[in-house]
Amino acid sequence: MSTFSATPCTPTSLLNHHNSLFYFPSCLPSLSVFQRSHPKNSPVAFNGVRLQHKQANVQNTVPGVLNSRFLQIGSEESSSSRHVLVKSTGAESAGGSTVSQSVLGILHLIVSVGIILAIDNFLKQAFVAASIKFPSALFGMFCIFSILIILDSTVPAVATSLMNFFEPALLFIQRWLPLFYVPSLVVLPLSVKSIPAASGIKICYIIVGGWLASLAVAGYTAIAIRRMVKTEMTDAEPMGKPSPFSAVEVWSWSGILLISFVSALLYPTALGTSARTCLPFLLASTVLGYIVGSGLPSDVKKVFHPIICCALSADLAALAFGYFSKSGLDSVLGSYLTKVSSNPGAGDVLMGFLGSVILSFAFSMFKQRKLVKRHAAEIFTSVILSTIFSLYSTALVGRLVGLEPGLTVSILPRCITVALALSIVSLFEGTNPSLTAAVVVVTGLVGANFVQATLDKLQFRDPIVRGIATASSAHGLGTAALSAKEPEALPFCAIAYALNGIFGSLLCSIPAVRQSLLAVVG
């Protein structure tokens, strides 16, 4: 009996009709076994794949060693020389490769997001243990940015590798960024219930007018400083844009909303508490509202931002559940944002990403590091001046419109992110922290909804001015709204967002500054 002669080479895979995967070394067998085994042009069963013999150059057609004992080739009859042509299974192999790449991509995303969340959690615990009131995420953001800068100047390849590794997490966060700021808007009806109507109108006037004034001051200051130092504007580094939402996502979240809503009505404590039981449908309604809002026409989104659609969707779901379950809207909103780690609601889950959002800003800042360095003078100067203007103008206007001093002091940090705004008002006596949080949220809402149109009207064109003006006047919500459409402005939003809060906190920690603000308030 003839034996095969072959030269060793790279293993080749072959799929049979049961999708079993076999590995063979790809080499050249001799023709003798085929010459003796099959009649001319007869098809051969090869583990379910038909083999057709024809005369040709075998070196270009045989994909692997065909071991007679393993392959169980049938007849031993003699015949003339022929080829073996294996029908292609390339489509199946490509499909398997695509699935493998998708699985690896999902794992990469999970690991990269998980690391950022773990860093945020570690910093929170460390700051709590050390009794430090400063937001741990801001500290972490500057640490990550500093590390990347150091690596870039010493071992650039490592800095590039880190950026590439965390790219999936950054795109994920950027894709859902506005969603993480929405919970405060959803529960806003609970925060403003205790405020008298007359005072509420005055506060709204201060919020809207103050937001517009702060935005203009920050933007025009940045332009003025740039002209003074004669810095020429260069193009920003291109920023990756996340993928749009698909119909599958819409239908998936719609199914979750419907099923969990009905389940919560029938079994109110199926998951132990009402907050956990309501969590799936409240989360689904929030996410679905954002997806639908993101798909609205551009002209509509200029005056009706997806953030508003998102908050309204969650409030409508809460209202419907409160009506059908007879528990009331307030009860359901209380379950939406419990602020209790052992009994989280949908809002707690979303706000749990806020720290990681701030940490991710470090990577965006690093990507635009050349522009940050080039325009440092206008960035820092405009943020500092806009912060001072915001604090003192709020105090002055509050006195001019006759707002109660306690309420005026409570809304002083209206342009500073919630965590730092609450720490600022804690330095004053007789303030209302709930009002502070509500005013900060409403300021962000106004900015999120009108910031792009206003920036265009004021002819703020470049991403530096647009980012600084937005974050200095509308903090996180404004940042989320602008960066969703203009990712190249995100790094400058992030810098202004952080510096605005830090400088405001430092300023108000000085006793003389606090006394001067109280004197203006009256």
Region 146-165: what's the mean pLDDT? Answer: 94
What is the per-residue pLDDT across 107-119, written as a single tens digit (0 to 9) for each?
999 999 999 999 9
Over residues 84-104, the mean pLDDT reads: 63
Question: Who wins on pLDDT, 345 or 1?
Answer: 345
Domain holding 320, by residue range, is 247-336
pLDDT at residue 349, rounded to an integer: 92
pLDDT of residue 240: 64
In a domain, 293, yes or no: yes
Backbone φ and ψ for 73, nearest 5 degrees, come out as -75, 130
Residue 238: pLDDT band (50, 70, 90) is low
The Cα-based distances of 291 to 245, 246, 250, 432, 473 in angstroms read 7, 9, 7, 35, 26
The mean predicted confidence, pLDDT, of the chain is 79
pLDDT at residue 399 greater than cutoff 70: yes
- What is the pLDDT averaged over residues 423-428? 84
Q: Residue 80 pLDDT > 80, yes or no?
A: no
Asked if 364 and 490 touch (Cβ cutoff 8 Å), the reply is yes
Residue 301 located in a structural domain: yes
264 occurs within a structural domain: yes
Q: What is the pLDDT of residue 93?
A: 57
Long-range interactions of 25-30: CB distance < 8 A, separation 24+: 25/64, 25/65, 26/63, 26/64, 26/65, 27/64, 27/65, 28/58, 28/59, 28/62, 29/4, 29/5, 29/58, 29/62, 29/65, 29/66, 30/2, 30/3, 30/4, 30/5, 30/6
- For tokens 């959803």, the residue is 186
User: Which of these, 175, 174, 203, lies nearest to 188 by C-alpha position?
Assistant: 203
Between residues 397 and 302, which one has the greater pLDDT?
A: 397
**Rounded distance between C-alpha atoms, residue 227 and residue 144, angstroms:** 32
12 sits in which H/E element: strand 11-15
306 or 1, greater pLDDT: 306
CB 335, CB 274: distance < 8 Å? yes
pLDDT tops 90 at residue 233: no
H/E stretch holding 50 reads strand 49-52
Model confidence at 96, pLDDT cuts 50, 70, 90, reads low
Domains held by the chain: number: 1
Q: Where are the alpha helices (DSSP H) in 401-510?
A: 405-410, 418-425, 433-457, 463-485, 490-508
Domain-located, residue 255: yes
Whether the predicted pLDDT of 327 surpasses 80: yes
pLDDT at 158 over 90: yes
d(CA 173, CA 179): 10
In the numeric block, the tokens 């003078």 are attached to 377
Identify which of 199, 189, 214 has the alpha carbon closest to the alpha carbon of residue 408.
199
Maximum distance among all alpha carbons in the chain? 111
Whether the CB-CB separation of 16 and 49 falls below 8 Å is answered with yes
What does the pLDDT look like over 276-290, one tens digit per residue?
999 999 999 999 999
User: How high is the pLDDT of residue 236?
Assistant: 63
Residue 197: inside a domain: no
pLDDT score, position 346: 92
Residue 307 lies in a domain: yes
Residue 218: predicted pLDDT: 92
Which of the four pLDDT bands, split at 50, 70 and 90, describes residue 230? Answer: confident
Does the structure show a pLDDT above 90 at 64?
A: no
Q: In the chain, what percentage of residues exceed pLDDT 90? A: 31
The structure tokens listed for 364 are: 């965006």
- Please determine, for residue 324, whether its predicted confidence score (pLDDT) is greater than 70: yes
Residue 13 has pLDDT above 60, yes or no: no
Would 297 be classed as within a structural domain? yes
Any idea how long the chain is?
Answer: 522
The larger pLDDT score, comparing residue 77 to residue 486, is at 486
pTM over 0.85: no
Phi, psi of 326, deg, nearest 5: 60, 25
Q: What torsion do the CA atoms of 337, 343, 348, 354 make, to the nearest 10 degrees?
A: 140
For residue 385, the model assigns a pLDDT of 93
Residue 317 lies in a domain: yes
